[in-house]
Amino acid sequence: MNRIVPLAILALGILAFATLLLVIAPAVQIGSEAPTPGLKPYTAQQLRGRDVYVSQGCVYCHSQQPRAVDQAPDSERGWGRASVASDYVYDSPHQLGTMRTGPDLLNVGARLPSRDWHLTHLYQPRAIFDWSIMPAYPYLFEHKPAPEPGDVVVNLSGAYAPAEGVIVAKPEALDLASYLQSLDRTFPAPADALRDDGYARPEESR
């Protein structure tokens, strides 16, 4: 019984030290990062789209952290330069992800800037890639007999086009497409975030 108090104090001390070292110190360090030159804050629509991205669990299949060439061939895949800490200044919480069932999306707005493409892909990925295993999100869209003023009609053809009427994007789909279009970190990384060989420091690209 007499050992419980010292053990509890020791356990709390270890927990406090680990919290300081692994949570508080990194938060202070990253919190002082200035945005990468060229990085812009999200617009209100893009932030709403980011909320949709988070709510749909996109992070479970897509990462947002291209890695350096000595870690992975991400640049050869067309995913852009290795990411650095200052690329995520406006992201809270970040969507780094650990899975790549689908491609990395940190620069998808540069690779695929078309809103129409994203809307079609969100409504039915197989309408673009017949081999895609990505789930469809038809509940982000609405089937109407005819478009109304201000409606954004989704471009569909073949088996995925409705027999009658049109498929119209709901605000959630438009917001999500806007967020995806905003994902562009193709501008140069800060010089102090790079190693001597010009690649991102490993601790900032993981």
DSSP 43-82: PHHHHHHHHHHHHTTGGGT-------TTT--TTTTT--SP
Query: Does the 44-205 domain belong in CATH 2.60.120.1310?
Result: no
Alpha-carbon distances, residue 135 vs 46, 99, 106, 126 (angstroms) = 22, 16, 20, 9
The pLDDT assigned to 194 comes to: 57
Residue for token pair 């290795």: 82
Question: For residues 93 and 152, what is the distance between their CA atoms, to the nearest angstrom?
Answer: 30
Residue for token pair 């709390």: 12
The pLDDT assigned to 79 comes to: 95
Q: 3-state DSSP call for residue 54?
A: helix
> Nearest 5°: phi and psi at 167?
-100, 125
Indicate whether this model's pTM tops 0.85.
no
**Cβ partners under 8 Å of residue 155, min gap 6:** 116, 119, 120
- Tokens for 123, please give them: 């409504």
The pLDDT assigned to 1 comes to: 57
The pLDDT assigned to 204 comes to: 41
Alpha-carbon distances, residue 126 vs 83, 148, 159 (angstroms) = 30, 27, 10
Domain boundaries, the chain: 1-32, 44-205
- Is the CB of residue 115 less than 8 Å from the CB of residue 181? yes
Q: 3-state DSSP call for residue 143?
A: strand
- Tokens for 107, please give them: 């620069």
Per-residue pLDDT of the chain (206 residues; tens, 9 = 90+): 577 888 888 899 999 999 988 878 776 766 667 899 999 999 999 999 999 999 999 999 999 999 999 899 999 999 999 999 899 999 988 999 999 999 999 999 999 999 999 999 999 999 999 999 999 999 999 999 999 999 999 999 999 999 999 999 999 999 999 999 999 999 998 887 654 444 455 444 33
The pLDDT assigned to 205 comes to: 38
